Amino acid sequence: MPMDRFIEVSLPKRGVSCTAKLLFDRAPITCQAIWDALPLGGDVYHAKYARNEIYTLVPPFAPQEPPLENPTITPIPGDLCYFTFSDTQLSSSAYGYEAAAEQQGTRAAHAERTTVVDLALFYERNNLLINGDAGWVPGIVWGAITEGLDRMAEAAQDLWRAGALGESLHFKRAD
């Protein structure tokens, strides 16, 4: 088993970051794929259905999509989750990022893959991973915030109130 590995998760425009431990003991395949692909990031979105979640969409990066290891439908504050969606699952204008989903889907199709990856951070309690279009949406819990969740939660609330336009969510190896 690898030594503990940590990443930094940030909202650069707001100047906020937190530290998270990768959960290699619970989601080894997902953690290794993410670790090998870092840094990752892109436009940030605030969840519409799951409640207290911010996330970014990135092109698929794992050699094979990870199995549903360490799954949840009720993430807790500080959980980092990994979701895989087909490009068509995200094409509804209700999500507000159809252009991003189409762009990611085009990249994925180029690589003969029709998926987009959603990397999410949950910052408060009472989350339920259910989607009005698809039903239950289990995610892989691959990381846990160990430092800075309070600052990240405050910034995530600001995203909800003030809007996410122009902000991004980034994941990189901790220094």
In a domain, 1, yes or no: no
Nearest in space to 80 (alpha carbons), one of 62, 56, 104: 56
Residue pair 114/86 in contact by the 8 Å Cβ criterion: yes
Nearest in space to 105 (alpha carbons), one of 66, 57, 167: 57
Domain that residue 141 falls in: 6-173
Residue 82's domain is classified under what CATH number?
Answer: 2.40.100.20
In a domain, 165, yes or no: yes
CA torsion sign, 75 to 78 to 81 to 87?
A: positive
In a domain, 11, yes or no: yes
Nearest in space to 57 (alpha carbons), one of 72, 43, 37: 43
| Arithmetic mean of pLDDT over the chain | 87
Provide the number of structural domains found in the chain: 1
More confident residue, 158 or 115: 158
Residue 104: pLDDT above 90?
A: no
In a domain, 119, yes or no: yes
Distance CA 139, CA 119 (A): 10
In a domain, 39, yes or no: yes
In a domain, 59, yes or no: yes
* pLDDT at residue 108, rounded to an integer: 40
Residue type, 37: A
115-148 tens-digit pLDDT: 899 999 999 999 989 887 778 999 999 999 999 9
